[in-house]
C-alpha cells in the first residue's frame, strides 16, 4: 500500500531549513502546547543548545537538526570559504555529536556529513554538506511514511493503542515513527483511539503526543505513567507502539525512561509491544543494551524538591529484546540480529 500523508499535521515542519536555506528552523518544543514558537539558528552554539535543552528532540529530528545545523554553521563561520570550513569541520562535528549521547541518529548524521565532505575538494565542500543534510531530511520524511505504510496493518478499525513519550511528527522530519501507523490508518478513515502516557519528568506524552494527535483529529487520552500497567491489565489496549533512540544489535532498545516498565506490563498481560524506528536507529556497533550510554538530566526537571534532596533522573531506560514483539522499520518488520542491514 503506498504511503499517504495527512495534510497539515503541523503548520511547519518540526525541523528543517529556514526559507533562505542558510539556517536551521525548528518548532521549539519547550513552549508546547501553550505556544507555537518558531526559531532559526545558524551558529553552532545555538544548534547545540537547541538539542541539549530539548527544543529539538526525538532521535530522528535530532539527527536532521544536527545535519542542517552543521551545514549552516560551517557556511556562516567560514564565510563561504571551503578551505576554512574544512578546518572547522572536525571540531564542529565532535561538539555536535557530544550534545546528547543516547540517540544514535545524532552521531550518525554528523558522521555522514563528515564522510561526504571528505570525498570532495574544498571548492565543493559547502555545497556537498548542504546537499547531504537535505538528503538526510528528505530520507527521514520518506522513512516515516514507509513506517506508516508497513505498520498500517497492525491497526484494525477501533484499535486502541498505548504509547510512551512522543514519537510523532514532532520527533522527526515527517509523520513520525510510532505514530506513523496511526496517521496512516487515520488517513484511510480507520478509527484509532490512543492512550498517551504522560511520560515523566518532562511530560512529553501529555504536552506533545496529545497536542499533535488532537490537532490531527485523532482521539487521544492522557494517563499518568503509573497507570499504564493497570490500563494494560484492564484489557482496553490492543497494541503498544513506542519509538526508540538507539536499538542495539541484539534488539535491546533505549527509549524514554518508563518504556521498560510498559514493556514488562504488556508482556504480563499478553499485549503486543512494537518498537518503531528508521533503520538508521539500529546501531549494529552496539552489541546490547548494557553498552548504551544513558543520559542523565538535572534534578530541576523533576519539579520542586525539598532542600538538600538529590535526584536520580535518567532520561532513558533499556527494554530487553525478549519483551519486543517486533521492530517496525522503513524496511518492514525486522528481527535481531538484523541481517538485512549487514549486507
pLDDT in tens, 234-279: 999 999 999 999 999 999 999 999 999 999 999 999 999 999 999 9
Measure the CA–CA gap between 215 and 306, rounded to whole angstroms. 38
Per-residue model confidence (pLDDT) at position 47 = 98
Active-site residue (options: 140, 245, 252, 317): 245
Per-residue model confidence (pLDDT) at position 12 = 63
Which residues of the chain does CATH 3.40.50.10470 include?
154-341
What is the band of 342 on the pLDDT scale with cuts at 50, 70, 90?
Answer: confident
What is the band of 85 on the pLDDT scale with cuts at 50, 70, 90?
Answer: very high
- What is the pTM assigned to this prediction? 0.93
pLDDT greater than 70 at residue 149 = yes
Which residues of the chain does CATH 1.20.120.420 include?
15-145
Tens-place pLDDT, residues 200-213: 999 999 999 999 99
Tens-place pLDDT, residues 288-331: 999 999 999 999 999 899 999 999 999 999 999 999 999 999 99
pLDDT greater than 70 at residue 50 = yes
CATH number of 154-341: 3.40.50.10470
Average of pLDDT values for 26-42?
95
Per-residue model confidence (pLDDT) at position 343 = 67
Active site residue 245: yes
What is the architecture of the domain spanning 15-145? Up-down Bundle (1.20)
pLDDT greater than 50 at residue 52 = yes
Distance set, CA 237 to CA 123, 181, 193, 207, 320 (Å): 56, 16, 9, 21, 21
pLDDT greater than 60 at residue 11 = no
pLDDT greater than 80 at residue 97 = yes
What is the band of 114 on the pLDDT scale with cuts at 50, 70, 90?
Answer: very high
Per-residue model confidence (pLDDT) at position 103 = 84
Mean pLDDT across the chain = 94
Amino acid at each position: 500500500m503506498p504511503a499517504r500523508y495527512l495534510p497539515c499535521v503541523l503548520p511547519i515542519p518540526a525541523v528543517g531549513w529556514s526559507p533562505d536555506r542558510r539556517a536551521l528552523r525548528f518548532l521549539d518544543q519547550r513552549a508546547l502546547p501553550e505556544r507555537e514558537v518558531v526559531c532559526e539558528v545558524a551558529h553552532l552554539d545555538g544548534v547545540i543548545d537547541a538539542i541539549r535543552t530539548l527544543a529539538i528532540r526525538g532521535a530522528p529530528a535530532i539527527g536532521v537538526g544536527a545535519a542542517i545545523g552543521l551545514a549552516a554553521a560551517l557556511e556562516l563561520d567560514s564565510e563561504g570559504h571551503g578551505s576554512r570550513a574544512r578546518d572547522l569541520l572536525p571540531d564542529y562535528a565532535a561538539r555536535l555529536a557530544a550534545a546528547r549521547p543516547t540517540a544514535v541518529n545524532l552521531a550518525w548524521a554528523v558522521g555522514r556529513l563528515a564522510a561526504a565532505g571528505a570525498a570532495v575538494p574544498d571548492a565543493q565542500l559547502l555545497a556537498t554538506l548542504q546537499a547531504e543534510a537535505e538528503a538526510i531530511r528528505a530520507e527521514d520524511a520518506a522513512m516515516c511514511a514507509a513506517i506508516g505504510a508497513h505498520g498500517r496493518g497492525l491497526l484494525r478499525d477501533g484499535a486502541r493503542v498505548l504509547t510512551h513519550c512522543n514519537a510523532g511528527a514532532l520527533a522527526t522530519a515527517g509523520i513520525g515513527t510510532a505514530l506513523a501507523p496511526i496517521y496512516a490508518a487515520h488517513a484511510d478513515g480507520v478509527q484509532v483511539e490512543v492512550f498517551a502516557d504522560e511520560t515523566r519528568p518532562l511530560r512529553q506524552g501529555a504536552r506533545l503526543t496529545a497536542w499533535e494527535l488532537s490537532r490531527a483529529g485523532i482521539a487521544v487520552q492522557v494517563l499518568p505513567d503509573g497507570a499504564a500497567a493497570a490500563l494494560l491489565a484492564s484489557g482496553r489496549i490492543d497494541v503498544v507502539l513506542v519509538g526508540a533512540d538507539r536499538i542495539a544489535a541484539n534488539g535491546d532498545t533505549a527509549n524514554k525512561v518508563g518504556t521498560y516498565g510498559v514493556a514488562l506490563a504488556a508482556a504480563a498481560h499478553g499485549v503486543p509491544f512494537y518498537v518503531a524506528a528508521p533503520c538508521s536507529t539500529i546501531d549494529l556497533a552496539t552489541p546490547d543494551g548494557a553498552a548504551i550510554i544513558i543520559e542523565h538530566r538535572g534534578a530541576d526537571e523533576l519539579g520542586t524538591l525539598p532542600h538538600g534532596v538529590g535526584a536520580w533522573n535518567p532520561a532513558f531506560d533499556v527494554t530487553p529484546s525478549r519483551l519486543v514483539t517486533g521492530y517496525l522499520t522503513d524496511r518492514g518488520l525486522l528481527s535481531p540480529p538484523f541481517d538485512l542491514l549487514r549486507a
